């Protein structure tokens, strides 16, 4: 997915591919699978589902104002970075979207699947189960995390297909959202570990549900902390900057080559006129 995709390489087309260019010109959707393509299925369907999630969460009154404002701030900041700090070089060099930032192995794909399950599917089941059980505390504690994760996935999916955004800007999407979600998950942990207690006469089903909520919050904190400090910062972000400056060098080399070609053509034309 993302965010869990978290940092997984955005979708892309190989640079300089004639087939890719032809497909774009014909207006046909390009069928390519990124690191998480097989996990998430049809991107269009998922984007519609995420929009639905976001609308429902926003209207539920369960999302703090700060978390509602954060996606707008993050989007404006990313657009500013793409315009003033890290403008895209890929459009100039190849005319296509940037290639994938990080190519994952099978083990990495399994890591992504685990993150998808812990970050999206199980919390969604927890929220829906909270609605079914009338457990408003569970719903309120996990919903902000789902809201921000849904926005993160939607943002990553949108900008990964736009050449407007350079690799550093694309890499900052999961980084910004993951940092914010870790603080949200800490609040979630506080809710289920400190502010929620079991009644003395709780049945086995209530006990299992109580510890499921606690375990899920703790597992999300561990996973996304490892993802942030063990992958996004030390590996994913440097790889994005490395690719960006490599593209920048290619652009400069192409400009110099074009200048040399123009100068040679002018020289040949002058020699012909002299003859």
Number of H helices and E strands in the chain, helices first, is 11, 0
Instruction: Please determine, for residue 219, whether its predicted confidence score (pLDDT) is greater than 90.
Output: yes
Token output for 55? 């609308």
What letter would DSSP give residue 202?
-
- 55: domain range? 18-263
Instruction: Please determine, for residue 38, whether its predicted confidence score (pLDDT) is greater than 50.
Output: no
pLDDT on residue 16: 42
Answer yes or no: is 275 within a domain. Answer: no
Answer yes or no: is 96 within a domain. Answer: yes
Each residue's pLDDT tens digit, 222-255? 999 999 999 999 999 999 998 888 876 666 656 6
pLDDT on residue 191: 93
Answer yes or no: is 238 within a domain. Answer: yes
Instruction: Please determine, for residue 129, whether its predicted confidence score (pLDDT) is greater than 80.
Output: yes
Answer yes or no: is 272 within a domain. Answer: no
Instruction: Please determine, for residue 18, whether its predicted confidence score (pLDDT) is greater than 80.
Output: no
pLDDT on residue 56: 83
Give the integer Cα–Cα distance in Å for 248 and 216.
Answer: 43
pLDDT on residue 237: 93
Answer yes or no: is 268 within a domain. Answer: no
Answer yes or no: is 100 within a domain. Answer: yes
DSSP codes, 143-177: HHHHHHHHHHHHHHHHHTT-TTB-HHHHHHHHHHH
pLDDT on residue 257: 65
HSE-up of 156 (CA within 13 Å, CB side)? 33
The position carrying tokens 């829906």 is 128
Give the integer Cα–Cα distance in Å for 78 and 86.
Answer: 10
Instruction: Please determine, for residue 69, whether its predicted confidence score (pLDDT) is greater than 80.
Output: yes
What letter would DSSP give residue 118?
I
Each residue's pLDDT tens digit, 153-208? 889 988 887 778 999 999 999 999 999 999 999 999 999 999 988 888 889 999 99
In three-state secondary structure terms, 248 is helix
Domains contained in the chain, number: 1
Answer yes or no: is 66 within a domain. Answer: yes
Mean pLDDT of 244-267: 68
Give the integer Cα–Cα distance in Å for 180 and 172.
Answer: 12
User: Regarding predicted confidence, which is higher, 229 or 8?
Assistant: 229
Answer yes or no: is 273 within a domain. Answer: no
Which residue in 183, 210, 152, 188 sits closest to 10, CA to CA? Answer: 152
Q: Are 125 and 44 in contact (CB under 8 A)?
A: no
pLDDT on residue 143: 93
Ramachandran bin of 102, using left for φ above 0, alpha for ψ from -120 to 50, beta for the remaining angles: beta
């Amino acid at each position: 997915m993302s965010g869990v995709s978290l940092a997984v390489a955005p979708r892309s087309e190989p640079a300089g591919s004639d087939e890719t260019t032809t497909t774009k010109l014909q207006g046909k959707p390009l069928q390519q699978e990124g690191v998480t393509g097989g996990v998430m299925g049809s991107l269009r369907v998922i984007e519609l589902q995420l929009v639905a999630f976001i609308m429902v969460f926003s209207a539920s009154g369960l999302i703090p104002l700060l978390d509602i404002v954060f996606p707008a701030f993050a989007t404006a900041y990313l657009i500013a970075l793409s315009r003033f700090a890290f403008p895209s070089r890929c459009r100039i060099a190849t005319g296509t979207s940037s290639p994938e930032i990080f190519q994952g192995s099978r083990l990495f794909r399994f890591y992504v699947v685990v993150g998808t399950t812990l970050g999206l599917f199980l919390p969604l089941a927890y929220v829906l189960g909270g609605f079914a059980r009338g457990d408003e505390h569970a719903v309120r504690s996990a919903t902000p995390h789902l809201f921000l994760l849904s926005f993160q996935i939607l943002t990553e999916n949108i900008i990964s297909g736009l050449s407007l955004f350079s690799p550093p800007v694309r890499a900052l999407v999961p980084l910004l959202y993951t940092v914010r979600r870790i603080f949200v998950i800490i609040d979630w942990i506080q809710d289920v570990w400190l502010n929620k207690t079991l009644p003395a006469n709780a049945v086995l089903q209530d006990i299992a549900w109580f510890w499921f909520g606690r375990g899920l919050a703790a597992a999300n904190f561990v996973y996304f902390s490892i993802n942030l400090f063990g992958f996004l910062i030390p590996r994913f972000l440097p790889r994005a900057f490395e690719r960006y400056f490599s593209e920048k060098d290619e652009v400069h080399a192409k400009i110099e080559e074009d200048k040399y070609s123009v100068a040679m053509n002018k020289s040949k034309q002058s020699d012909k006129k002299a003859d």
